[in-house]
C-alpha cells in the first residue's frame, strides 16, 4: 500500500485536520492531493474546493511572513515544521492553526509528499507557562483518542494536546 493510501484509510474519520500535498515546494505547488473531512471543516471549504490547490489559499493579511519562510525552509531541507500560523477560512474569518508538517519519503529516500496535521488552537488566558509550551490550547474538546495516539507518535507537544 502506498503511503497516501494508508493515510487516506487512517485519516478519513480522524477528528483532526490532515492534509497531504505533493513534494513541489515552489508555486503553484505544493498541490493538495488529499484532505480529510475534518480539514475541510477546519478551513471552512468543501473538499472539492481544496483538492488541487496549494495550502496558500488559507493565508491572509495576518499570516506571518517569517513563519512562512521558516516553513518553506523546513520543506526544502526535509525537516519537520511545527508551528503556528494565522489561517483564514472560506468565509474570511481567521483562526490560529497549530501545524505539524512532515515529509513522506519513498523507499529510495526521495520526498514524495508532505503530510500536515492541523488544528485550531486558542491562546491560553493569563500568564504563559515558562518556555513556549502551554501558550496555546486546543480550541475543541473532541479527539481525545486520536490525540493520545498522536502523542504516542510525538506529534504535537504534550502540553498542547489536551482540550480545555
Ligand X SMILES: Cc1cc2nc3c(=O)[nH]c(=O)nc-3n(C[C@H](O)[C@H](O)[C@H](O)COP(=O)(O)O)c2cc1C
Residues in touch with ligand X (CB under 6 A) = 19, 21, 27, 30, 54-56, 58-59, 63, 68, 71-72, 75, 85, 87, 97, 99, 101, 114, 116, 118
Which class for 105: exposed (0-12), middle (13-18), buried (19 or more C-beta within 10 A)? middle
What per-residue string of b and e applies to 132-143 under the rule 16 or more CB within 10 Å gives b?
Answer: eeeebbbbbeeb
Give the shortest CB-15-to-ligand X separation in angstroms: 17
Nearer to ligand X, 72 or 110 (CB): 72
Q: Which three cell numbers stand for residue 106?
A: 519513498
Give the shortest CB-19-to-ligand X separation in angstroms: 5
Give the shortest CB-127-to-ligand X separation in angstroms: 28
Nearer to ligand X, 21 or 147 (CB): 21
Helix (H, G, I), strand (E, B) or coil at 107: coil
Amino acid at each position: 500500500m502506498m503511503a497516501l493510501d494508508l493515510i487516506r484509510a487512517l485519516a478519513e474519520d480522524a477528528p483532526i485536520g490532515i492534509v497531504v500535498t505533493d513534494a513541489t515546494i515552489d508555486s503553484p505547488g505544493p498541490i493538495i492531493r488529499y484532505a480529510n473531512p475534518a480539514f475541510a471543516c477546519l478551513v471552512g471549504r468543501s473538499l472539492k474546493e481544496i483538492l488541487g490547490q496549494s495550502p496558500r489559499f488559507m493565508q491572509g493579511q495576518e499570516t506571518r511572513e517569517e513563519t512562512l519562510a521558516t516553513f518553506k525552509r523546513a520543506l526544502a531541507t526535509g525537516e519537520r515544521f511545527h508551528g503556528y500560523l494565522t489561517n483564514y477560512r472560506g468565509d474570511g474569518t481567521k483562526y490560529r492553526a497549530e501545524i505539524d508538517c512532515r515529509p513522506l519519503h519513498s523507499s529510495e529516500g526521495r520526498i514524495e509528499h508532505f503530510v500536515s496535521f492541523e488544528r485550531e488552537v486558542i491562546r491560553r488566558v493569563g500568564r504563559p507557562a515558562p518556555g513556549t509550551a502551554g501558550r496555546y490550547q486546543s480550541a475543541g474538546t473532541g479527539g481525545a483518542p486520536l490525540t493520545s495516539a498522536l502523542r504516542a507518535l510525538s506529534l504535537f507537544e504534550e502540553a498542547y494536546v489536551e482540550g480545555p
